[in-house]
Amino acid sequence: MQNFTYTGLPARVLFGTGTTSLLPAEVERLACRKALVLTTEAQAALGRYLCDLLGPISAGLFPGAAMHTPVEVTDAAVIQYRDSGADCVVSIGGGSTIGLGKAIALRTDAPQIVLPTSYAGSEMTPIIGQTDGGKKTTQTTLKVLPETVIYDVTHTLTLPPLMTVTSGMNALAHAVEALYAEEANPVLSLMAEDGIAKLTEALERVRDTPQDTGARSDALYGAWLCAVCLGSGGVALHHKLCHVLGGSFDLPHAETHTVMLPHALAYNAPAVPDVMEALRRATGSQTPAAAFFDISSAAGAPTALRDLGMPEDGIERAVEIALDKPYYNPRDVDAEGLRSVFRAAWQGARPDA
């Protein structure tokens, strides 16, 4: 066996059904006095429920989280955080809300408790992405790693089937890239393969029976494993391209991952034969990239960048931005290769890998 490094990140995880009721005790466990609850506008009612649950230790609600964590939204949230006397944040929602909590923590060192309502996985990572002036940048720092994550299957039962698939594909991308990222190691590979297997199988069950608690529990568990892979491992071509598309063309996060995963994997497939074998085991398909495409297609999820509003003449700009800063990938990346990936994704062509 080759030498490797595995980094286990510190986080307290509570997993189950009805675990939201433990929130007040978790705030107190962090020795915090007042918690500011964060949500998107669409999930404000859920935020108000948490404020009621917290009672006297609630510092109010900020319902303005937005996709790609714009810095101007963070500015407003930090002002409310300080004015309210809060000394921690509670983020309930998907990647947008979790990203806002991280941005506040980056500026204020606020402890974070996260209650995910999707499978995005940001809650298990020390990674933060922020958008300023139409350009998205990311950084990795333990300052933004949440202290506590409460996984409550109940919050995923009402996640619409279509959103379930796009969020699930976002999660799958974390584990797929962990298998061939620069920091890949045997420990993460075990988590990645199991997470992919659990989540892909559960997504098909959830599509047919969205209220199946067992299927939802398996999906959330698989997504958690995928998130651990992202937090403790690394990324490559897929995530780089998604950040370019999201930050520069304002494309929706989960849907962009859904479209790009099959094509980024197909591009890298010739360079990672062992990974492709693991993916064949996990997906039960001889063509894993096509299997991911088929899961999305069968659910009615987007499979083409043009369906997300990406202009065809934006492909060259995307190639230029992606090549601006070098990054690790198991297969060499050049303009011609990127052009082929973006074009296939723009057209929505089914890969054969």
Picking from 58, 141, 51, the residue whose alpha carbon sits closest to that of residue 103 is 141
Q: What is the DSSP string of 270-338?
A: GG-HHHHHHHHHHHT-S-HHHHHHHHHHHTT----GGGGT--GGGHHHHHHHHTTS----SS---HHHH
352 domain residue, yes or no: no
Final residue of a domain: which of 90, 122, 156? 156
> Is residue 338 domain-shared with residue 256, that is, in the same domain?
yes
Q: What pLDDT, on the 0 to 100 scale, is given for residue 253? A: 86
Q: What pLDDT, on the 0 to 100 scale, is given for residue 281? A: 98
Find the length of the chain: 353
Look up the CATH number of the domain holding residue 71.
3.40.50.1970
> Is residue 86 domain-shared with residue 214, that is, in the same domain?
no
Q: What pLDDT, on the 0 to 100 scale, is given for residue 231? A: 87
Rounded alpha-carbon distances, angstroms, from residue 210 to 2, 202, 203, 263: 43, 10, 9, 28
208 domain residue, yes or no: yes
Domain extent for 48: 12-156
Q: What is the pTM of this model?
A: 0.90
Rounded Cα gap, residues 120 and 127, in angstroms: 13
> Is residue 206 domain-shared with residue 94, that is, in the same domain?
no
> Is residue 143 domain-shared with residue 231, that is, in the same domain?
no
Q: What pLDDT, on the 0 to 100 scale, is given for residue 148? A: 98
Q: What pLDDT, on the 0 to 100 scale, is given for residue 234? A: 85
> Is residue 150 domain-shared with residue 171, that is, in the same domain?
no
Final residue of a domain: which of 156, 186, 207? 156
313 domain residue, yes or no: yes
Q: What pLDDT, on the 0 to 100 scale, is given for residue 207? A: 86
Indicate the angle between helix axes 213-232 and 186-208, nearest 10 degrees.
150
The 3-state DSSP class for residue 13 equals strand
> Is residue 166 domain-shared with residue 142, that is, in the same domain?
no
Q: What pLDDT, on the 0 to 100 scale, is given for residue 203? A: 94
Q: List the chain pLDDT tens, one digit each, 353 residues.
A: 778 888 889 899 999 999 999 999 999 999 999 999 999 999 999 999 999 999 999 999 999 999 889 999 999 999 999 999 999 999 999 989 999 999 999 999 999 999 999 998 999 999 898 999 878 888 999 999 999 999 999 999 989 989 999 999 999 999 999 999 999 999 999 999 999 999 999 999 998 899 999 999 999 999 999 999 988 888 899 999 998 998 889 899 899 999 999 999 999 999 999 999 999 999 999 999 999 999 999 999 999 999 999 999 999 999 999 999 888 999 999 999 999 999 999 999 999 99
> Is residue 93 domain-shared with residue 212, that is, in the same domain?
no
Rounded Cα gap, residues 95 and 101, in angstroms: 10
> Is residue 219 domain-shared with residue 137, that is, in the same domain?
no
> Is residue 251 domain-shared with residue 321, that is, in the same domain?
yes
The total of structural domains in the chain comes to: 2
Look up the CATH number of the domain holding residue 274.
1.20.1090.10
> Is residue 114 domain-shared with residue 236, that is, in the same domain?
no
Rounded Cα gap, residues 192 and 172, in angstroms: 9
4 domain residue, yes or no: no
